[in-house]
Amino acid sequence: MTHKQGNNSEETITHFGFQNVAESEKASKVAEVFHSVAGRYDLMNDVLSGGMHRLWKRFTIELSGVRAGNKVLDIAGGTGDLTRKFSRLVGAEGQVVLADINDSMLKVGRNRLLDKGISGNVHFVQANAECLPFPDNHFDVVTIAFGLRNVTHKDTAIASMLRVLKPGGRLLVLEFSKPKNPVLSKIYDTYSFNFMPLAGKLITNDADSYRYLAESIRMHPDQETLKAMMEVAGFERVTYHNMTGGIVALHRGIKP
């Protein structure tokens, strides 16, 4: 993926993986990645995590405290793993909104859930995490799993999530993070920058997208930085749980 800088030298620059790009271009570049990999996204998740992503998501659901009658927003819900479980937990009186900025991912998620007979209490919305199209104080729980690192203005998105939560509502952010052990960190780097693009090439015929995903993980804030961002936004009792040695972290915050 290459980028040619335009003539507008005043435009704010952000990162797309390890590249510097104009902010106005980042969303479309991220969209290209997920349009490319949507059809085999679940398969790649299983291959790249050795199936561990299912355990990480299960822990997220347990910590969410979702119960019957709740309203849940699953941002960057993609192919619907979390939405499927939440749909069962909230029951007929509850509601789950699967939101994703990417139309291809949303279609895959919708088709997959419909194939499993899940429809009555689930709604699908194409939405940008930075400006969520929902009322204030609306949801009991908001989750974003492996999506925050792709957002251009993470602080804006976290503030938007706070706004749509009810007082006492919970935000859960599941995301790749920074391993605590230097040896594990080195192994993880080798794996990310060599195996991930190779697997992407073999399974989806797209090495570049998985090279970007590896780079985006490295550019994402570490555990303490993300915790501080949530606190600055207004969340209270912010905690995080490292999983698989800190390769993944689950952050949780409460709206006062």
38-78 tens-digit pLDDT = 666 666 677 778 889 999 999 999 999 999 999 999 999 98
Check residue 31 and give its pLDDT: 61
Question: In the predicted model, is pLDDT for residue 101 greater than 70?
Answer: yes
On average, the pLDDT of the chain sits at 88
Provide the domain count of the chain. Answer: 1
Q: Could you tell me the CATH number of the domain that includes residue 105?
A: 3.40.50.150
168-226 tens-digit pLDDT = 999 999 999 999 899 999 998 888 888 888 887 888 788 887 888 788 888 899 999 99
Check residue 2 and give its pLDDT: 40
Please report whether residue 174 resides in a domain.
Answer: yes
Please report whether residue 123 resides in a domain.
Answer: yes
Please report whether residue 21 resides in a domain.
Answer: no
79 among annotated binding-site residues: yes
The pair of structure tokens assigned to 124 is 């699908």
129 among annotated binding-site residues: yes
Three-state DSSP state, 102 = coil
Contact, 147 vs 73, CB < 8 A?
Answer: no
Please report whether residue 98 resides in a domain.
Answer: yes
CA–CA dist 46, 40 (Å, integer):
10
Please report whether residue 22 resides in a domain.
Answer: no
pTM of the model: 0.86
Please report whether residue 74 resides in a domain.
Answer: yes
What domain range includes position 220?
A: 38-179+216-254
233 among annotated binding-site residues: no
Around 227, how many Cα atoms within 13 Å sit in the side-chain half-sphere? 13
136 among annotated binding-site residues: no
Q: What percent of the chain has pLDDT over 70?
A: 88
Around Cβ 218, how many Cβ atoms within 10 Å?
16
Please report whether residue 112 resides in a domain.
Answer: yes
Which residues, at least 6 apart from 24, have a Cβ–Cβ distance to it below 8 Å? Answer: 11
Check residue 3 and give its pLDDT: 42
Please report whether residue 190 resides in a domain.
Answer: no
